[in-house]
Amino acid sequence: MPRVNRTAVLSLLIVSSSVFLLFQLYYYRKYVSKVRHRQQHKKFLALAQRFRLPLFLADTAALTLLSQDALRQRDRLVREPHCSFLCTGRPITSFALHANLWKYDPGLLLAAQQKGFDLLELRGEDPRLASLDTLSGEEIPLHFLFRLHGHVVQVVFLYERSGNYLWHGALRLKANMDRNFAPFKLLDYGRHPGAYDRPELVLTVLDGLDIRIPRNISRFLNEQQHAHFLECRYRDARNFLQLYPDDSSPEALDFRRKVKSLLHLAARTLARLDIPFWLSSGTCLGWFRQCSIISYSRDVDIGIFVVDFNPDMVAAFRDAGLSLKHKFGKVEDSLELSFLSDDVKLDVFFFYADGNVVWNGGTQAKSGKKFKYIFPRFSLCWAELLELKVRVPCETLDYVTANYGDTWSIPLRTWDWKTSPSNVQENGVWPPAEWAELIQVY
């Protein structure tokens, strides 16, 4: 039987013991870190409860960890200090505050400092007070950052807007603020303003703490990814209207009323079908240029990506009281729908992706000629028009310039859809044998 090498055995035992010790140290540090983070959250939530802050958890990492099983368990029976959901490994936890349900109390900030928190309060102009007549200079709280032992709790203020949605502002540091206060690039909220539907909240227990969360977590997380909001350019719009006063005749006012009703109706109808749309053509130009509609345009224009087309659209609009005026093209090429409501036309343009551009088609009914309108690729942002939360191209200037050229800021009452747009080009002719199917006028 071979002799045992005592040196080798001893070395193996030392290495094994060292690995085990390092593992224990790692586990201990991780455990202590979680306990400390839970205590920080507990201290913060106690402070929030004392001042009756209408908070809910908005942290994307923490909400992603939540499952229906975790919510059902509610972890009420776990007694030891733990941190399964709130301790995500990130140095930030985000909460949202329904600002309209809370009266600002400066005592909160003093109490937080007494509890050992470092605090950074960020304010910005209140867009709800801005209009074409008045530019708001009043500032409101937008974000609170509470820091304790290197961990930051972000509180995002959500304000109700006239379009029945919630809005938060961008996080902008002023010149005298500490740029090392928090890892700002890691924040879930604040890189740009955001808009959200009002979430339904439920009270649950996470890591032994009572916390409100969105009932539909996946919907909220999806909203958070696409929440970018563009404010109307009131200063530019006011300058435009000083040069070109808007029509205030009874006919123009009646047209605006009808457009508002039609736009709200279209939004509700498409929302039921889960079809996203955006303001296009003259309706988009009106929002961008003058924060309103163009009173002499006589119609409403919206865009939809053709991949979102739903064949139930026509029936849904008909059930909503709109009649189909024409249907041009087909899903594979140059589809266009037009509906009529109370003598105002709703034009629905379907957009097709083609490399680094997108385009929508047009058809001349009497000749079968096809046209193509080319736009640079764009993403979608939220905006508000006529007290409605609607989408617009985020790259609005590029979108408008593509359609109306560099002179988009000069009103044109004479417009030929076949020749006037800067981005129009001829695109062939529909075969006469297919006209009955592809050119339908009612």
Could you give the CA distance from residue 358 to residue 300 in angstroms, rounded to a whole number?
21
Look up residue 127 and give its DSSP letter. Answer: G
- The answer for 140, left when phi > 0, alpha when psi is -120 to 50, beta otherwise, is beta
Return the number of other C-beta atoms located less than 10 Å from residue 234's C-beta.
18
The architecture that CATH gives domain 30-72+81-226 is 2-Layer Sandwich (3.30)
Query: Residue 26's pLDDT is what?
Result: 45
- The answer for 185, left when phi > 0, alpha when psi is -120 to 50, beta otherwise, is alpha
Residues of the chain with pLDDT under 70: 1-6, 8-37, 67-82, 132, 135-136
What DSSP line would sit under 145-164, residue for residue? EEEETTEEEEEEEEEEETTT
CATH number of 234-441: 3.30.460
Query: Residue 32's pLDDT is what?
Result: 43
Query: Residue 359's pLDDT is what?
Result: 98
Alpha helices by DSSP H, 275-395: 281-290, 313-319
3-class SS shares of the chain: helix, strand, coil, % to 5: 35, 30, 35
pTM of the prediction? Answer: 0.88
Residues of the chain with CATH 3.30.460: 30-72+81-226, 234-441
Q: Going along 191-280, which residue ranges are E strands?
A: 194-196, 201-206, 209-214, 278-279
For residue 212, give both structure tokens.
């409100």
Return the number of other C-beta atoms located less than 10 Å from residue 33's C-beta.
15
Query: Residue 9's pLDDT is what?
Result: 57
Which residues on adjacent β-strands are paired with residue 272? none
